[in-house]
Structure 1
Amino acid sequence: MDTGKEITNIQPTLRNPQTDVNTLSLPLDQNSLNAMFEDFVKLIDASPNTIRTYSISLRQWFKYLRENQITQPSMDTVFEYRDALRAAGKKETTVQNYIIAVKQFFKWTEARQLYPNIAKYVKSEKLSRNFKKDYLTSKQAKKVLATIDRSTLTGKRDYAMLVLMLTMGLRTIEVVRANVEDIRNVGDNTVLYVQGKGHQDKDDLVRMPEHVETAVREYLSVRKCDDLAQPLFTSTSNRNKNGRMTTRSIRGIVKKIFRKAGLDSPRLTAHSTRHTAATLSLLNGATPIETQHLLRHRNLQTTEIYAHNIDASKNPASQDVDRALFS
């Protein structure tokens, strides 16, 4: 069977989607699904990571159809699938990603006249406007940095790495990918070129404050780094000495430093350093757009969550009620 022809020759009339859905069936054999998915991803203008996410998500959707022997899914099927994901204990972000993939897939099938868009009116999961991790106050951040013993090579590395994350808002994967040669001059400023989330190149840059640059260059000097292509931060363990660090090792180092400073909370992780940079940026006068550029958020709405939470914490209404009741 020519799988490509099988898919191409499905030409339903879409004037009445509800009628069409009763006369069409999606190919559920693996070869047909693979061909359909390959055709689908060709039209997605996205990074390999995004395409991989779609692949994983859609695999779950077709698995659900097979397990329930559904060959003619309808809008109710999508609702039931969403409920099944929730019942299975999937995180709200996971449910959202799975449903978004289904919505994009059926948007494509309708455009190609392969199958009606049965997911058009299905809403994605509503996510909380709060982040899952906490941030450090400026006082806590100073305490954390002060606990690091900077007399050793490891201490100099940890200090430089942590002050960079707290100040410049880098993700752990961005720290892992950074090389010495990524520190460059732009105008009258020192910057670090960053390979951001979902990017294939180091096409973002973040200004490096003088204190951060001094800490990083002190570490590199003691490390005796003379190869600019080397990782910016390297392992000091015997198993991977001078090798590139992993996101797991960085998360472990940051967590250990937090605990040493007396900040042992499951809501405080390496990603909290990024939240700290965002929050302290806004608290100290940066505009939401400036903070968006610092964190390299694609959408300003993501940055505005920080501003929303700061405004909510400053709301004096509860204090007014308190004075009315107890003054």
Structure 2
Amino acid sequence: MAAQVAQHQWISTFLEAQAAELGAATNTLLAYGRDLKDFADWLDKQGSDFAKADRDQIEGYLIDCDAQGLSQSTRARRLSAIKQIYRFAFEEGWRDTNPAIQIKGPGRQKRLPKTLDVAEVDKLLDAARQTGRSPADRVRNTCLMELLYATGMRVTELVSLPVSSARGDPRMLLVLGKGGKERMVPLSPPARDALAEWLRARDEAEDEAVAKGKQRSRFLFPSRGKSGHLTRHRFFLLVKELAISGGVPAEKVTPHTLRHAFATHLLANGADLRSIQTLLGHADVATTEIYTHVLDERLAELVLEHHPLAKDPDDKG
């Protein structure tokens, strides 16, 4: 029974992160949940669970799915869900190994991550400066967006930053990443300016709260909620609000697309993959290599759009 509870906890935490960090649609989350529950039930019958399962057991489950006559797309989707929860578990430090990393399933076209161009990011930053119920809200929103784009932090890393890491006009921020791994990320001048302005507004609000008998928060972006800081879900909704306000298609914008934009724009301006890997906190450079494909696709689009030889000869424009 305890193992079953633990398995449900794995699934719920994973789905929460997918919703908050990637903006996964409700139908996608429901499909992940169903697939992972099916896998968890199968493991339970084998006397195993997510924490103990090895590669052989995962492959055994996929063979069982095939024997049930499940379609190629369904089996590919189930393997994708399993791979993602184990990658998440490895990055969170729940497991020392990822048993699904080398498993290949039925082929499916790999989708490249959505990203934003520089003009779209500028629109979001402008919207942050003008969106909020109060001047303090607008200063906070500006700081959040400037830091996210300047550093490529994961949304969890951003919203849970301790205020101590931001004191003294820092050129670098110490970030506690997945699996408890620390890394340093540099701050751009606009991000430092936004941070300094937010610290002034934040400290004033905290002083007022303390005067009313409340405890001083240790977080850079405090909240009176259970976590003590701005939640991933609230920040996801905020980013959607900024997209609508800034005239950027809301379906293109999540906190994670800002992370993708950070990496893609760095690569486009000459940064090397190893440096980007370090800044993003990727354990394996293979994860970072996806951005070379994003850039290649964008360059191909530019050629097709603007090169004279790529135009239809009948097109007089």
Same fold per superposition (TM over 0.5) = yes
* Counterpart Cα distance in 2 of 1:145 and 1:282: 21
Residue 50 (structure 2) aligns with: none
* Counterpart Cα distance in 2 of 1:124 and 1:97: 14
Residue 191 (structure 1) aligns with: 172
CA 1:248–1:293: 2 relative to 1, 3 Å: same
> Greater relative contact order (Cα 8 A, min sep 6): structure 1 or 2?
2
Partner AA of 1:164 in structure 2: L
Residue 79 (structure 1) aligns with: 63
CA 1:75–1:192: 2 relative to 1, 3 Å: closer
Residue 15 (structure 1) aligns with: none
Partner AA of 1:138 in structure 2: V
Residue 216 (structure 1) aligns with: 195
**Of the candidates 148, 155, 158, which is equivalent to residue 172 of structure 1?**
155
Residue 255 (structure 1) aligns with: 240
Percent of aligned pairs with the same amino acid: 23
1:74 CA drift (Å): 11
**For 1:192, what is the secondary structure of its paired residue?**
strand
**For 1:273, what is the secondary structure of its paired residue?**
helix
**Of the candidates 192, 196, 221, which is equivalent to residue 233 of structure 1?**
221
CA 1:245–1:61: 2 relative to 1, 3 Å: same
* Counterpart Cα distance in 2 of 1:307 and 1:122: 23
Partner AA of 2:286 in structure 1: Q
1:124 CA drift (Å): 4.4
User: Would the aligned equivalents of 1:96 and 1:125 in 2 still touch at CA under 8 Å?
Assistant: no
**Of the candidates 279, 285, 289, which is equivalent to residue 300 of structure 1?**
285
> More displaced, 224-233 or 134-143?
224-233
1:193 CA drift (Å): 1.1
* Counterpart Cα distance in 2 of 1:198 and 1:78: 28
User: Would the aligned equivalents of 1:177 and 1:195 in 2 still touch at CA under 8 Å?
Assistant: no
Give CA-to-partner distance per residue, 1:146-202, whole Å, 9 cap, x none: 1222770000000001111011101111012201112368xx962111111232x6x
> More displaced, 205-214 or 162-171?
205-214
CA 1:209–1:321: 2 relative to 1, 3 Å: closer
**For 2:271, what is the secondary structure of its paired residue?**
coil
User: Would the aligned equivalents of 1:180 and 1:228 in 2 still touch at CA under 8 Å?
Assistant: no
Q: Which runs of 5+ in 2 are unaligned?
A: 7-12, 15-35, 48-56, 88-99, 208-214
Give CA-to-partner distance per residue, 1:37-82, whole Å, 9 cap, x none: 9xxxxxxxxxx99xxxxx989634325769xxxxxx9977642336
User: Would the aligned equivalents of 1:78 and 1:122 in 2 still touch at CA under 8 Å?
Assistant: no
TM-score, normalising length from structure 2?
0.63
1:277 CA drift (Å): 0.6
Residue 207 (structure 1) aligns with: 186
Partner AA of 2:285 in structure 1: L
> More displaced, 150-159 or 81-90?
81-90
Residue 81 (structure 2) aligns with: 94
* Counterpart Cα distance in 2 of 1:258 and 1:283: 23
1:205 CA drift (Å): 1.5
User: Would the aligned equivalents of 2:240 and 2:254 in 1 still touch at CA under 8 Å?
Assistant: yes
Q: Which runs of 5+ in 1 are unaligned?
A: 1-29, 38-47, 50-54, 67-72, 101-118
Give the alignment of 1:13-92 within 5 angstroms: 59-63=40-44, 78-81=62-65, 84=70, 87=74, 90=77
* Counterpart Cα distance in 2 of 1:210 and 1:281: 16
Partner AA of 1:214 in structure 2: D
**Of the candidates 119, 122, 125, which is equivalent to residue 142 of structure 1?**
122
Superposition RMSD in Å: 4.2
1:249 CA drift (Å): 0.7
Residue 23 (structure 2) aligns with: none
Partner AA of 1:232 in structure 2: L
> More displaced, 253-262 or 150-159?
150-159
TM-score, normalising length from structure 1?
0.61
CA 1:167–1:325: 2 relative to 1, 3 Å: same
